Structure 1
Amino acid sequence: MAILGDAEQEDLVSEINVTPLVDVMLVLLTVFIVTAPLLMNAVKVKLPKASAEVAITVPKTAHISITDAGDIFLDQQKLALDTLTSNLGTLKAQQDPAVEIYADEHAEYGIVAKVLVAIQRAGISKFSFVMSPEAGK
């Protein structure tokens, strides 16, 4: 060990080195992430058997198509925008339908927005836009 003069004395470092702590925490996190899904199925449960007579209700799906010319079709029946709300209200009264919207990519945004307003006014809350997947993806 070398003898240091007053000017060359080393300063004491009073900070905690957190690098080993971070390493240990990352290892523990990895272990918990790997073992957590295994612990979820720890309780053995005998599930009941269902017969083929169980009825599963599938909601009716209404299809709204909007062409590039602005024509609106409800299940292949051409409608005016004014009558769309009442027709959707009739469907809503029969059962709670889901609506799939097929809008042409060149359809005017204003018409699509008005169709969305008609769906909302009819009280239908389940709707989705249908799109074609891009080629090569």
Structure 2
Amino acid sequence: MAMNVGSPGGNGSEPDVMMDINTTPLIDVMLVLLVMLIITIPIQLHSVTLEMPVGAPPANQIKPEKIQIDIDDKGTVYWQGLPVTAAELEEKMRATAQMNPQPEVHVRPNKDARYAVFANVLASTRRIGLNKIAVIGAEQFVQ
């Protein structure tokens, strides 16, 4: 039984140098980074810290008054069911704006009312300082 221990040439020269890069460590590092990315993304997206109040919210003892402003199809403006002129409407709005707590103003335009009248009422409420405004009756505009 014979065993060849030397180089293939038999002259004792060094083996040829391998010129290819060893990609195994690079692939290992890339896989580790990919696993870390996959693990950390769901934590970042689903973790939302909120400090919610504990217990029941305090009850509002004072219910705000509700002021109803209606606009009919002819452009007549009604304050709590009574027709008013533009000057009377602004006077009543100024008195309402001074109340504490400020009442809720519900504006209900008719489907056939002119937009200019409705826009004038809304602009007057904002200019005078009424902050609690709601446009109600929108279901009539749905076709």
Q: TM-score, normalised by structure 2?
A: 0.57
Counterpart of 2:130 in structure 1 is 124
1:71 to 66, 70, 76: 76
Cα distance per residue 1:52-87 (max 9 Å; x no partner)? xx6622322211111111111112122112210101
What SS is found at the alignment partner of 1:112?
helix
Give distance in 2, aligned partners of 1:22 and 1:58.
Answer: 58
Please state how far the C-alpha of 1:98 moved relative to its aligned partner: 2.1
Please state how far the C-alpha of 1:88 moved relative to its aligned partner: 1.3
Which residues of structure 1 form unaligned runs of 5+? Answer: 1-19
Check whether the contact 1:100–1:127 (CA below 8 A) recurs between aligned residues: yes
1:108 to 90, 94, 114: 114
Q: Which amino acid aligns with 1:58?
A: K
Please state how far the C-alpha of 1:27 moved relative to its aligned partner: 5.7
Label 1:80 to 1:35 Cα distance change in 2 as closer, same or farther (>3 A): same
Check whether the contact 1:99–1:127 (CA below 8 A) recurs between aligned residues: yes
How many pairs does the alignment contain?
A: 109
RMSD, aligned α-carbons: 3.5
Which residues of structure 2 form unaligned runs of 5+? Answer: 1-30
Label 1:49 to 1:113 Cα distance change in 2 as closer, same or farther (>3 A): closer
Q: Which amino acid aligns with 1:30?
A: P
Greater Rg, structure 1 or structure 2? 2
Identity %: 16
Q: TM-score, normalised by structure 1?
A: 0.59
